[in-house]
Chain A
């Protein structure tokens, strides 16, 4: 896996982690930790109604949970 792909996968996984523990200090810390993912750290924005925006994608809660689960299994 190339470094760029790994980076993107990391971001997706990272978003999933944030999602798994929403509204907590841990999620907040992760969301603001630019050192973890560099300056292109994706934002995880809660859009309300169970919808989230990740790196421009508007996804459902189940989308993100699924991504996290599957990525963890890689």
Chain B
């Protein structure tokens, strides 16, 4: 059933559930579905309503003290969560993502690739994708001879699943699921042992307050909010829940969206293609301690040459026209080549303790402390990005796809500017020991007996693909465990 907590007249605190799930986005709905199918009685709590509201969205506002981030606009706080506007691109982790490695003093995934991979087929079904033959290179991407890059293989769903809508019937009809909308989780209350969750406190914007008790609890509120609720539940334990080792909120990761430069295209190779995408060869990345990355070359016919680029192009053109240069040279310099393009990227960010979520003294309308985000790029990230972009530029030239002009910050020591992909990850990372993370290999919060976390906040490393599919895979895995 779906209940609006604003209108719900019963005392929730008098009920008892097998599992209480906080957050009804991709992970929360997947878990509710999975657990309900196993016969578990599930309470699913969603802070927002069925549709977007500014009042709910404003709870995401916070302070940004690191690299530029947009806390209150890229995430969505209503039923279905951020799947309400995601683009539908899916790419699972690769096996090398799970190879043991230490970066910035932190270990990688404590589980094997197979433990994630065996849920891939079921995740595809959840996401409405065909189970077989799903991942293919982007149409038009030319194969290259390279040890370092391969054509990227992913899928962009034509109709990205909006979880709140796709699973609305399931949520309303399942006898084992009680979904409460407008039920904001504001605090985790522990029992006297300070290890077992007794209940979660829920509020409405109108001031209504109640609590829900269950045998087990799962936080599925998104990477920033999962850390926030753990840190802000600090009345019983000053440092917050599950935070004895000061790891909650640390290792916030995104995928760096770095403008790597521009290029001239070889029309013989590009023909009608407007976009080519390449992915780091996992063995190469692993051997060189690089992050995984997608590098996209796209033709921007409207882009105007400017500054020195224009001057160089004119000179190249003059040379090529006057001196009858061979074809190989001409395609680079001719004005009537297919056009200039841009090189964009999605680069893995390594876990880095200084990149973190903490709490502000400011509180939202519900009284929960707002977040401070300090998103940082480590030296290893910079080294990785610079290596990747130079390498793909070399491969681009070697394979005669065109020639790349690198962005100035790739070549000098200045900081590398990055925008975001809105892939928040890693604030409650999975580790084998509490010193290196917040949840164990079963996604249970260290030093608690019945509190679990699902979603990209548990990612130990971020990989080079979009996180939604791995989020679903891990949610299915947790559902099976519980």
Partner-B contacts on A (CB < 8 A): 4-5, 8-9, 12, 43, 45, 47-49, 51, 53, 55-60, 62-63, 66-67, 70-71, 73-74
Contact = CB atoms under 8 A, between A and B. Distances in A.
Interface string B383-406: 000000010011011100001111
Contacts of A48: 394
Contact of A56 (B319, B322, B406): B406
Contact of B311 (A4, A47, A73): A4
A58 B315 contact: no
A60 to B, nearest CB: 5
A20 B323 CA distance: 20
Interface of B: 261, 308, 311-312, 314-315, 319, 322-323, 325-326, 328-329, 332, 390, 393-394, 396-398, 403-408, 411
Given A8-B308, A59-B403, 9 more contacts: A47-B394, A51-B397, A58-B390, A58-B404, A58-B405, A66-B326, A66-B329, A73-B323, A74-B322
B406 A53 contact: yes
Contacts of A55: 308, 312
B323 A58 contact: no
Given A57-B403, A62-B328, A66-B325, A8 B312 contact: yes
Contacts of B314: 5
Q: What 5 pairs across the A-B complex have the smallest Cβ distances?
A: A58-B393, A70-B323, A51-B394, A56-B405, A56-B406
A60 B398 contact: yes
A4 B315 CA distance: 11
A62 B408 CA distance: 24
B311 A8 contact: yes
Given A4-B311, A53-B411, A59 B325 contact: no
A18 to B, nearest CB: 17
B387 to A, nearest CB: 11
Contacts of B261: 56
B436 to A, nearest CB: 36
A73 to B, nearest CB: 6
Contacts of A9: 315
A5 B394 CA distance: 27
A5 B311 contact: yes
Contacts of A43: 411
A38 B407 CA distance: 21
Contact of A59 (B308, B397, B408): B397
Contacts of A8: 308, 311-312, 315
Contacts of B325: 66, 70
Contacts of A73: 323
Nearest to B396: A58
